[in-house]
Every structure is written in structure tokens, then in C-alpha cells.
Amino acid sequence: MTLTESETQGFLNRCVSCAYLKETGDFCNKTVLGDSFEAAAALPDECADLLIADPPYNMTKTFGKQEFARMSEEDYRAFTEKWVRAYRHTLKKTASVYVCCDWKSGIVIAPVLEKYFTVRNRITWQREKGRGAAANWKNGMEDIWFLTVSDKYVFNLGAVRQRKKVIAPYTEDGNPKDWFVLDGVKYRDTCPSNFWDDITVPYWSMRENTPHPTQKPEKLLAKLILASSNKGDLVLDPFGGSGSTAVTAKKLGRDYLSVEKAEEYCALTECRLLRAESDASVQGMEDGIFYARGLK
């Protein structure tokens, strides 16, 4: 997906500013073009049911016209603490939070998250694509911390079942035990674990692909959103990028708020949101069933 200058301008006109949030109190289903910390201050208390944060990992990377420069571990810890504290007031008592990181930034992030939330789990996503290193193992994993504000939280296990081919089909009294046959192949719909190997990065050939350098796949966000929110809930993303969280939330019948400071990514978000009105499909997922890579 690439946008011309005039298309970008058209989509930018659909975004709102932090000042708009503050003046109107209208924050539902919006893409905010602005600074995440300013947006947090303009939001009311306890408005969000689910927060999904994919902050810049602690590596030098260009987002739009701005570079995020690698920091010392101490500065990255302070940056993490700053955004967590800024957004904490927006979370309902029943809210869940997911925070993305790689193994290195995760070491710094985890103790900060532990201070403010109950840590429920760490999901590892095997994304397969990664740059080789001359004197190290190629990094093919990302982590996602699963946190809650309290012990009362939503978890819709039945909405995130994973369909797998059965390796050892067990029978009881001659009947299949928890498996079924489709087109001659034996499958089982299983409970998802915290190791996710069924999701690719949004490759250039996929409809959801954008020029954003660290775009998350909609299938990954669909798992988080379906498990940890209900229809009509508000899903908040303070580092929205190309809008993957907002777009997937919309496709799944949730409300969204996406904050991003780079114009080109806000425009992509709005373009994707518009597309989602006529196509609510999420590649690799159908009716709460997630298919292994290559199955769909």
C-alpha cells in the first residue's frame, strides 16, 4: 500500500489532534496525529478496556521523517516508565495490557511493567524474518508481555482456538478423541499456548502490507483483541504506527484509539480503516479459528 501526496493529505484530514481530544472529549474511533504523551494527558480516566503498546524497541530506527535513536538502558527504562505512568490512568480496573518488545528491550521493560501491573504471561512470537548477524544468532523472535490491572479481567479462550493437523490421532471406543476430519485431513482445534509460530510478518504480497518498517500482523493483533476484549470495548494503542491495532479492532467490532506522531503512518492508518469498512477479513483467521501457517 502506497499513497500519493494528495491521498495522504486526504486521509490526514480525517485524523484529529491532541487539542481536539482535550477540547471535545471525543476519543472513540479516532486516529490521533500527535505526541503520545500529550494524547495521554487529554484522555479521561478509566476509558480503555485494552491497551496494546508496540513502542520503538531500543534500537536506532527511522519512523517517517524522525529517527528513534538507541538509548542507554537507563534512559530506555525511564522512557518506558514515562509512557506507562502516562497511560495508567486511562485503564479500567478490568483492563488488560500487552507490551511488545524484543529479547534485549524486554530485559529492561519487564521490571518496570512488574511495578505497575500483574504480569500474567510472556508470549513469544516466532516471526521467522530477521537479519543475519556475523557473530550472533539471528533474532527470529519477539516477545509480548501480557499484563492486567487487577485479578478481574476478560479472557475469551474460545475465541482464539488454533487449528492444527493431528500427528497422533487418538481414539476412544473407536471414536476420534477431540479431533475431526476435513477434506480427508485430521485436525484438532487446540487451546493456544504462549508460543506463537503460526503468524508471518506482513509480507509485501499481503493486502495488509504498508511501508511502515515494523508493522505488526493483523493476525497477531486479532489474537490479543479477541482474547482480551469484548465487542464494543475500547482498544487503545499509544504507538499506533500504520494502524494495525486500530484496523484489527475495527474489523472485530471493537472501538479504537490510535496515537501516532508521523503523518505518513496516520494517513496509512486512515486508509486501512476505510478499507476495513468493505473488507473485515483477517488473513489466517476465520470465526475465531486461527490456522497454522500455510493452512489458510
**What does the binding site for ligand SAM look like in residue numbers (CB under 6 A)?**
35-37, 54, 56, 63-64, 212, 214-216, 239, 241-242, 244, 259-262, 265
Query: Which residue's CB is nearer to ligand SAM, number 91 or number 259?
Result: 259
Q: What is the phi-psi region of residue 49: left when phi exceeds 0, alpha when psi lies from -120 to 50, beta otherwise?
A: alpha
CB of 271 to ligand SAM, least distance (A): 13
Structural contact between residues 227 and 214, judged by C-beta atoms closer than 8 angstroms: no
C-alpha dist (Å) from residue 131 to 4, 54, 137, 141, 199: 30, 20, 10, 11, 18
Pairing of strands 161-165, 175-176: unpaired
Least distance CB 220 / ligand SAM (angstroms): 9
Distance between CA atoms of residues 64 and 263, nearest Å: 8
**Centroid of chain to Cα 5:** 27
Q: How far is the CB of 62 from ligand SAM (least distance, A)?
A: 9
Nearer to ligand SAM, 188 or 257 (CB): 257
C-beta of 120 vs 261, nearer to ligand SAM: 261
In the complex, the smallest distance separating the C-beta of residue 266 from ligand SAM, rounded to whole angstroms, is 9
Q: How far is the CB of 178 from ligand SAM (least distance, A)?
A: 35
Tell me how far apart the alpha carbons of residues 252 and 230 are, in angstroms, rounded to a whole number: 9
- Beta-strand runs (E) in the chain: 30-33, 48-53, 61-63, 66-68, 91-101, 118-126, 141-148, 161-165, 171-172, 175-176, 180-182, 185-190, 195-196, 234-237, 255-260, 285-286, 289-291
Nearest CA-CA partner of 235 in 101, 114, 92, 85: 92
**CB-based closest residue to ligand SAM:** 241
Q: Which is nearer to ligand SAM, 57 or 153 (CB)?
A: 57
Closest to 222 (Cα-Cα) out of 164, 276, 263: 276
Say which residues have a Cβ less than 8 Å from residue 120's Cβ, sequence separation at least 6: 146, 147, 148
Q: Which is nearer to ligand SAM, 89 or 164 (CB)?
A: 89
Nearest approach in angstroms of CB 130 to ligand SAM is 15
The CA R_g of the chain, rounded to the nearest whole Å, is 20
Of the pair 62, 194, the CB lying nearest ligand SAM is at 62
Q: Which is nearer to ligand SAM, 128 or 178 (CB)?
A: 128
Q: Which three cell numbers stand for residue 99?
A: 507490551
In the complex, minimum distance from the CB of residue 127 to ligand SAM, in angstroms, rounded to a whole number = 12
Which of residues 92 and 212 has its CB atom nearest to ligand SAM in the complex? 212
CB of 138 to ligand SAM, least distance (A): 20
